Amino acid sequence: MPDPTKWTYDYGGGGWGNQELESYTPRTANAEQRGGYLVITARKEDYTGGDGIPRQYTSARLKTQGRFAQAYGRFEARMQLPVGKGIWPAFWMLGSNIDSVGWPKSGEMDPMECIGDPLMIHSGIHGPTTSGGDAGVGAWFQVPSGSDVDKGFHIYAVEWQPNDVRFYFDDHLIAEYTPKDMPAGMTWVFDHPFFILLNVAVGGNWPGSPAANAVFPQQMLVDYMRVYQPQ
């Protein structure tokens, strides 16, 4: 299992604010270390977790909340992603003050989200509006030909400095955001420690539901997750 001094789990089937279809579990069937990788597996199976919510899919969502958080620096993961309609792998980060201020006041950074297309990934940030709602900015990136995210490993990273957030795919800059790039009314809240999340969601508002003939299980392979101190 992943190192418990660094990682813990979210679990349950409540939809996670996105109408997701999976129940997250801490089972080795959904997250394990195998062959030198962390393997997060989404499965099609009837499952009712401790929250009593029946679901037809399971997966895992790992996080460093309460174990590790850092402000600024470089956060990078080398991964091979699952793809297909309704499959939603993500490497993302939340402000470590989320339990006290809630989301989106905590802030959210998304170095990598993929919603089915092996040649497209998305990166972005979310923060609160002056009225307390959610606002965000993001960008799609078409990966170079032959770099299909499900056919090999690639590095997904964020380089984060005061008033500057930059996202990368391998050595390609995807997007850069500063306070002046925020939509009208969005508050810049990227000035405190964030923790890391890795997960594979199934369905939800953004990717939609899997096709009836979708192939399961689907796996995200994580070669490593590294964090560097700011220079």
Three-state DSSP string of the chain: CCCCCCCEEECECCCCCCCCCEEECCCCCCEEEECCEEEEEEEEEEEECCCCCEEEEEECEEECCCCCCECCEEEEEEEECCCCCCEEEEEEEEECCHHHHCCCCCCEEEEEECCCCCCEEEEEEEEEECCCCEEEEEEEEECCCCCCCCCCCEEEEEEEECCEEEEEECCEEEEEECHHHCCCCECCCCCCCEEEEEEEEECCCCCCCCCCCCCCCEEEEEEEEEEECCC
Cα three-residue angle 94-97-100, rounded to 5 degrees: 130
From the candidates 76, 113, 159, 176, which is the catalytic residue? 113
List 159's β-bridge partners, or say none. Answer: 74, 166
Q: Summarize pLDDT for 111-143 with one digit per residue, the tens.
A: 999 999 999 999 999 999 988 899 999 999 999
Where do the domains of the chain lie?
8-228
pTM (two decimals): 0.97
Question: Considering 20, 22, 108, 159, which one is annotated as catalytic?
Answer: 108
pLDDT at position 101 is 97
Q: Give the pLDDT score at 16.
A: 97
Strand partners for 96? none
**Which has the closest alpha carbon to 76: 175, 137, 159, 139?**
159
User: Nearest-CA neighbor of 157 among 110, 125, 94?
Assistant: 110
Report the side by side order of strands in the sheet with 61-63.
8-10, 61-63, 194-202, 87-95, 108-113, 120-128, 134-142
- Residue for token pair 């597996």: 41
User: In the annotation, is 108 catalytic?
Assistant: yes
pLDDT value of position 2: 83
- For residue 64, the model assigns a pLDDT of 98
Over the stretch 17-39, which tens digit does the pLDDT of each residue have?
999 999 999 999 999 999 999 99
The class level of CATH for 8-228 reads: mainly beta
Annotated catalytic, 20? no
pLDDT value for 219: 98
Low-confidence stretches of the chain (pLDDT beneath 50): none
